[in-house]
A and B are shown apart, each in its own frame.
Chain A
Amino acid sequence: MPKAAKDNLAMEFSLRMGDNCLILGQQVAAWCGHAPVLEEDIALANTALDLIGQTKFWLGLAAELEGEGRSADDLAFLRDVRAFRNGLLVEQPNGDFGQTLMRQFLFDAWHYLVLTALLSSTEKRIAEIAEKAVKEVTYHLERSSDLVIRLGDGSAESHARMQTALDDLWRFTGELMTPDSVDEALAEIGVAPDLGRIEKQWAEHVRAVLQEATLTIPEGAYMQQGGKAGLHSEAFGHLLADMQFLQRAYPGATW
């Protein structure tokens, strides 16, 4: 494959990874000062910080591969809805603590497996970012798995809320593991993993945790697609308005 074509695929992949981290990080950061207990408030803020840090690496690489002089900040703050490549799962509203936590768990399990596989990516810069990020994400997955079990198998109230969250969010998980033509080309040249393999490992971990949490996976749910192609949900425009307002209103503003 010619270098330009490979770079283009790697750029698209970096955008997808970066946008997932950015949008989830932005959403989780909104919990700062609002979590049900202090320890969780700190954990959420730390998770958001890790994700925003990882965003800097992914979008930095995407900008470098694009080669048009844009920066990671330009990509984060100056793109419009249709140019974002994150999955629909991460843009789902924070909802209650259960919704936020279930979203985190379903994402962390995927994120951890993808990063682990990326350690052997044929694109060195991608493998390097993964090497850094996977350590942080291991802690994310450990925490979210643990809390899903404790709240799912907790009180009647916490169980009901976790089940509702699972029912609402399950339909957005399929997309993360359904390859499009970009994913297939990336897997072929060894830049990114085969999503079919990720799906198997993901299902194994997620099912084990949900079972221990006494939660029921919705059967035969329709899987919503679109995020990778830039087709986002209604809430996404509001999210961007919030996140991008300052740079749009005061271009180039810095601390």
Chain B
Amino acid sequence: MHAVSEQLTIDEIWSLLESVPDPEIPVISVVDLGIVRDVSRKGDEVTVTVTPTYSGCPATAVIAMEIEEALRRKGADRVRIEMQLSPAWTTQWITKQGREKLRAYGIAPPVEGAPCAGALKAPPVVACPRCASDNTERVSQFGSTPCKAHYRCKDCLEPFDYFKSF
């Protein structure tokens, strides 16, 4: 299968990765999420450098497996997934397209400029992903996964997840 893998260009690998979903939020890809930091190849070995979102995120191992499988299906036999801690992942790396997909899925995308570094500040104003109202309040800083906070809209009265800036 070497011949096939050698045909995969770096660009093709990136587009392939754009179809690998985040296991927790399947509407966005690992590329949209900004966790794929680099793609390189040496001979027939493809190396994908990935950075974890949160240290304990259980999806990290699944993501590595899914990337490997997606590349193997396209004939890349030798795939290496490298974990890179620094520079640490930030929600600023979530693509514009990724943000829109999050909103359409019912998750408010991160409000940038409200980074977590600078603790003890008032929580950011987050627009409701359903009715776009700014009249929302934070219920809890921790939601269904480490990367989300729990909010509610005081206009349409719906609870929603906020992908917190990180």
Contact = CB atoms under 8 A, between A and B. Distances in A.
Contact of B85 (A112, A132, A136): A132
A94 B166 CA distance: 29
A132 B139 CA distance: 26
B26 to A, nearest CB: 20
B56 A53 contact: yes
Contacts, number: 83
Contacts of B54: 49-50, 53, 136
Which bucket holds chain B's interface residue count? 20 to 34
Contact of B144 (A42, A57, A141, A143): A42
A25 to B, nearest CB: 8
Nearest to A57: B55
Contacts of B144: 42
A50 B119 contact: no
Contacts of A112: 119
B119 A52 contact: no
A15 interface: no
At the interface, is chain B mostly helix, strand, loop or mixed? loop
A128 B116 contact: no
A50 B56 contact: yes
Contacts of A47: 142
B53 to A, nearest CB: 10
A120 to B, nearest CB: 13
Contact of B141 (A56, A57, A139): A139
Contacts of B146: 46, 49-50, 136
At the interface, is chain A mostly helix, strand, loop or mixed? helix
Interface string B140-154: 111111100010000
A139 B52 CA distance: 17
A42 B143 contact: yes
Nearest to B165: A135
A6 to B, nearest CB: 20
A53 B54 CA distance: 8
A248 B119 CA distance: 41
B97 interface: no
Contacts of A100: none
Contacts of A133: 55
A73 interface: no
Contacts of A145: 119-120
Interface string A130-156: 011111101101110110000000000
Contacts of B118: 138
A138 B142 contact: no
Contacts of B55: 50, 53-54, 56-57, 132-133, 136
A39 B142 CA distance: 7
Nearest to A142: B119
Contact of B139 (A39, A52, A138, A141): A39
Nearest to B147: A46
B117 to A, nearest CB: 6
B86 A132 contact: yes
B57 interface: yes
A138 B141 CA distance: 12
A43 interface: yes
Going nearest first, the 9 A-B pairs with the smallest beta carbon separation are: A53-B56, A53-B55, A39-B140, A49-B56, A43-B142, A128-B86, A46-B142, A128-B85, A138-B116
12 contacts: A42-B142, A43-B142, A49-B54, A50-B146, A53-B56, A54-B55, A131-B85, A132-B55, A132-B88, A139-B116, A143-B142, A145-B120
Interface of A: 39-40, 42-43, 46-47, 49-54, 56-57, 112, 127-129, 131-136, 138-139, 141-143, 145-146
Interface of B: 52, 54-58, 85-89, 116-120, 139-146, 150, 164, 166
